[in-house]
Amino acid sequence: MKRALLSVSDKTGLQEFAAGLIDRGFELVSTGGTKATLEKAGLTVTAVEAVTGFPEMLDGRVKTLHPNIHAGILAKRDEPTHMAALKARDIQPIDLVCVNLYPFAATIAKPETTRAEAIEQIDIGGPSALRAAAKNAASVWAVADPADYARVLTGLDEDDAALRTQLAAKVFQITAAYDAQIAAYLDPEPFPQQFTPTFSKVQSLRYGENSYQQAAFYGSPDAPAESLVNAKQLHGKALSFNNIRDADAALAMVNEYQEPTVVAVKHMNRAASAKGQPSRRPGTRPTQPIRCRFSVASSR
């Protein structure tokens, strides 16, 4: 029987994914909270301590850090000495690792979070298991994002090696960004020895600066709420690189004023602007949140 290790903080889609794995012949191995969630859904789960021979220790700091886990993930399936070593020690291979990391960034974003609380949200076992699976992507599925669950199930049916490789690369992207966020928190030096900014993809763009170029829009995880990173497109076709630049310039210009303001922008230059009074009685508050709307025109 194939074996899957599941240990997630974000339980989104977990039950459906786990049920899909069982349907495909997987035994599920899991840790505390994840195991409880799956068992509540009526799924059969093997506790990780039944595999390691040790209970979870140190308030959960040590769960999956054990040779019975990591040897099962890292063994090369086409290397006879590796498989013989597993057999000699009665270690079963692990064919899929589904882990998402402790929510470190979300934790430190809360003003009331203490340093001790932030430290406890530094995941150790999760990145270790994911990186091991990603290293052995020739045989093992490394799943770090609930958004990938559906295509992983499809990929299992097709033994999609290209998808395994793609997911492995995604694991290293996620863990690199995670480590960069932790490093920035622990050492807020403005000019550290190693500077590693992290950005997440917001959306693909219709085209780049020119119509034959490709482009995508990335944002910082700590982008302010009023930035384009958190803006919602209300209608119209997908934006281009130039649309994003114009909208960003327009937002910067509008922010120079306290009054309701309209700015028309072309190629990041102000073409026209107007400001006025709000359409409500003086001294009253708006009944709805104020929203900033952009109307982006394009010749393409």
Catalytic residue positions, numbered = 135, 267
Cβ(126)–Cβ(63) under 8 Å?
no
Identity of residue 123:
D
The neighbour count for residue 146, using CB atoms within 10 Å, is 17
Cβ(94)–Cβ(73) under 8 Å?
yes
Query: Distance of alpha carbon 18 from its chain centroid, rounded?
Result: 19
Cβ(134)–Cβ(180) under 8 Å?
no
Cβ(9)–Cβ(102) under 8 Å?
yes
User: Radius of gyration of the chain from Cα atoms?
Assistant: 25
